[in-house]
Structure 1
Amino acid sequence: MDVLARVSEATGVPADLLGGHLDVLAAAGATGRMPDRSVLDAYRRSGARAAETGVPLRSVVEAALLAAELATTPRLPNDGAAPPNLANGQVAGALPALRRAVAALIEGYEDAQRLAIRREEEARREFVDDLLYGRAERLAERAEHFGLRLAESYVVAVARGVRPMAEDDPLADRIERALIGRFGSHNILIAVRDGLLVCVAPGTLGAATGEFTHHVRAGFEPGWRVGVGRPHRGPGGVVTSFREAGNAIDLGERLGLRASVLRAADLLVFPVLLRDRAAIEDLVASVLSPLTEARGGPEPLLATLEAVFASQGNQTAAARRLGLSTRAVTYRLERIRRLTGFSPDDPTQRFTLETAVLGARLLDWPARPLPGR
């Protein structure tokens, strides 16, 4: 049995991966000439082929070293083994060539691994883009490669920091590792899209969005917000939940909500209001436009109404929210009643006023004038 066959049997490395290896060592031992660029390129190609076929790097290096060892070991007569390829005097000259050959094998192997990782990352980015933006070509098939079963329901949570997050932000990797460590890679998908950190998790895994929020709270600067969509089924469901999560953050900012975590399920009334924009514009104009006559403009009075509604009508609690005296709040509410004709103490009028105030925040009134007014 020749040397490479014995090496293959001992290490499991195909003999053809080291084809010409012994000749390179023998030539270097006899002449002292090191492998040229074309020879080292051949080693790099062998290393790359080993990586592509799943041969462990350690086995490849072991095979190259074992081949050199066997090529210099004397054989007993009649043991059936081929004679050594290198004479004793040539061994020292072959060692530098062996070092360069092994280095080239490792370089080729690592280059192939890096290329495979880049291709996997590109495929993952493309999949996430297609998943979140509704491009459904072979989506279910590709989803299984990344551990998602799109026949189930999924919920999407997004985190927005004070600054957009970069795609290569190491914080995203840390959060992903933490969530995968707890829930498994087949349950969690983390990605950065449009400056947002996105988490896709099964709708049945309720703890996942809470854990995601925990890591956002620990890693993001103060001022962050998390939006959580509702669970939906299928590829289109992921898109819908993603949009709901982003819209929840937008609504929170437009409405001046204090909560850092905003759930689409808790904000369903606001998209309903906006569906009939003409009606909400008419409500805001009819109910609140008289506040523009107040000294200092309508904003202090709107803030007072918001504080009262948030305090369930408790004027003392509203005053604490605003940093005012209770008497000042009472005065402002009376001013609102006189200007608008609506009082928050009357249940029906309270509902009209609260809806109008919410509509004003959604429309960014009074900073943005109403059409035709």
Structure 2
Amino acid sequence: MNRVGVRDADPAWETTMTESVRRPAPAGARGDDAWLTDVARAASADAGGVPVELLGDYLRLLTDAAVTGRRPRRGELDAVEALGRRAAEQGVSAGRAVRLYLSAARRLWRRLPHLAGATDSETVRAAADAVFHVVDTAVATLAEGYAAARRDLVRREETLRRELVDDLLRGDSDLGGLVERAEPFGLDLARVHQVALAAPGHRLPDTEAAISALERVIFDRLGDRDVLVATKEGLLVVIAPADTVTPDRGGGDGGSVAGLGRLMHGELDRLVRGRPWQVAVGRPHPGLYGIARSYEEAREALTTARRLHADTSVIDAHDLLIYRVLLRDQAAMVDLVRAVLTPLSQARGGAEPLLDTLNEYFACREVATEAARRLHVSVRTVTYRLDRVRALSGYDPADPRDRFTLHAAVLGARALDWPRRPLPA
């Protein structure tokens, strides 16, 4: 915003306007200018108790303009900008700060001593033009300082938030320091929390819109206490208390997990950029280290879902626990897949159609008609493929003793992305 430079006072103006009038002192001065103190106090009351100190020398600038026509100097405008910054840092709203300045100008104009008995309309118009120019310039400059301070505060808070989230997800050992740093954000580390991660389908050039959308819906549904929304390594991170999320299913540790995931995905899916979104939610755990544990579960769930080529919108870490067990001993899992499933590669079309059939067959509790519906094939095709599995592997999907081995091997193959990728040596 352009600022007005120095304009020397017109001698003729000063002769006309300053007959028997001394230059007013700064706001709040004693003596003959005690009325300025009254103006400042009344303006402060109009603005809801905004500190009088935020007026600085503003009233002097107004009275100088009314008497001499002098416009504010650069240094005086810099002082007003600094007052705007101070208002933001003190938590005064922009509306109240502007109201303080406008109210002060209105009250001062009505009480200017040398205009009380003025009969020359041209003199009054000239004084009004000079005063309104100061009001316009000062309020604009005040707003500039306020906005700059707010931007600095937001950047500082975002940095502190990001550092706090990084330490929480890492499980920083400085418990006392984390408790102190979490308190301004309303986070009670003694509660049970869960962590959700949202991964965009495509890299976002700007995550602000996604963060704002998440904060709006999550704060509205869960409140702004004990909730943090941030970014980490290209993912949106939400830390939320587990007892404020509506459960989607009863029982188990993951009762409220899918509720948070669907809440996040429903809002993110409305954004133009980032789709398709995939949200993974860790299980709820108590305390500081519970946050780090839930984060690790959510991150592993995202990684596992990608390895399985799963297009599920909301991933519950609770549902993928079996894969964590299977992949802890990768050598044993590779051995199982090689021994049980590699013979299926001899089938016409390779092993993949037979694996898909086994996966859907086990998913629907060994009901061939339902498996056929999911695979979009005939029931006869499903039974033929199951017979081929039995003939090539030696394991019968219908035999309870063989079913567990086959199912574990199929899950392991999906986790290892076989047969799309060769088995590790």
**1:109 positional shift:** 2.5
TM-superposed CA distance for 1:87, in Å, is 9.0
Superposition pairs of residues 245-284 of structure 1, within 5 angstroms = 245-257=298-310, 259-284=312-337
**Structure 1 Cα separation of the partners of residues 374 and 102 of structure 2:** 76
* Distance of aligned partners of 1:40 and 1:159 in 2 relative to their CA distance in 1, 3 Å threshold: same
The share of aligned pairs that are identical, in percent, is 45
- Cα distance change on mapping 1:220 and 1:72 into 2, 3 Å: closer
| Pairing of 1:159-174 with structure 2 (within 5 A) | 159-165=198-204, 168-174=207-213
Counterpart position of 1:236 = 289
Structure 1, 83-92 or 180-189: larger mean CA deviation: 83-92
Alignment match, 2:7: none
1:12-27 equivalence runs, <5 A: 12-27=49-64
Deviation of residue 61 (structure 1)? 3.9
Cα gap change, 1:225 to 1:22, in 2 (>3 Å): closer
The residue that corresponds to 2:190 in the other structure is 151
Question: How many Å separate the matches in 1 of 2:311 and 2:62?
Answer: 73
| Cα distance in 1 between the residues matched to 2:245 and 2:106 | 59
Query: What is the CA-CA distance between 1:285 and the residue it aligns to?
Result: 0.8
Counterpart CA distance in 1 for 2:302 and 2:356 is 20
Distance 1:288 1:218, change over 3 A: same
Measured at CA, do residues 289 and 126 of structure 1 come closer, stay the same or move farther in structure 2, by a change above 3 Å?
Answer: same
* C-alpha distance in 2 between matches for 1:108 and 1:363: 57
Conserved? CA contact 2:186–2:224, under 8 Å: yes
* 1:214-225 to 2 correspondences below 5 Å: 214-217=263-266, 219-220=268-269, 223-225=276-278
> 1:98-137 alignment to 2 at 5 Å?
98-135=135-172, 137=174
Q: What is the aligned partner in structure 2 of residue 7 from structure 1?
A: 39
Deviation at 1:263, TM superposition (A): 1.9
Q: Deviations over 1:40-65 (max 9, x none)?
A: 11111122223323445455444444
Deviations 1:275-315 (A, max 9, x none): 11111111111111112222221111111211211121122
Deviates most, 156-165 or 306-315? 156-165
Please tell me whether residue 365 in structure 1 is matched to residue 418 in structure 2.
yes
1:345 and 1:59 mapped to 2: Cα distance?
75
Distance 2:199 2:95 in 1: 44
Q: Equivalents in 2 of 1:285, 1:263: separation in Å?
A: 29
Q: Structure 1 residues 317, 106: closer, same or farther in 2, change over 3 A? A: closer
Give, in angstroms, the shift of residue 70 of structure 1: 5.3
Could you tell me how far 1:186 is from its partner in structure 2?
0.5
TM-score, normalised relative to structure 1: 0.86
1:213 matches 2:262 = yes
Report the count of equivalent residues.
365
**Compared with structure 1, are the counterparts of its residues 30 and 233 closer, same or farther at alpha carbon in structure 2 (3 Å cutoff)?**
same
| CA contact 1:29–1:86 (8 Å) conserved in 2 | no
Deviation at 1:85, TM superposition (A): 9.5
User: How far, CA to CA, are the matches of 1:255 and 1:53 in structure 2?
Assistant: 52
CA 1:97–1:253 in 2, change beyond 3 Å: closer, same or farther?
A: closer
Write the deviation string for residues 222-261 of structure 1: whole angstroms up to 9, x where unpaired.
7543322111122221111012112223323433556533
Does residue 75 of structure 2 align to residue 43 of structure 1? no
Letter paired with 2:57: G
Query: Structure 1 residue 16: deviation in Å?
Result: 4.2
> Which amino acid counterpart does residue 41 of structure 2 have in structure 1?
E
Greater shift, 32-41 or 94-103, is seen at 94-103
- Which runs of structure 1 show a deviation greater than 6 angstroms over 4 or more consecutive aligned residues? none
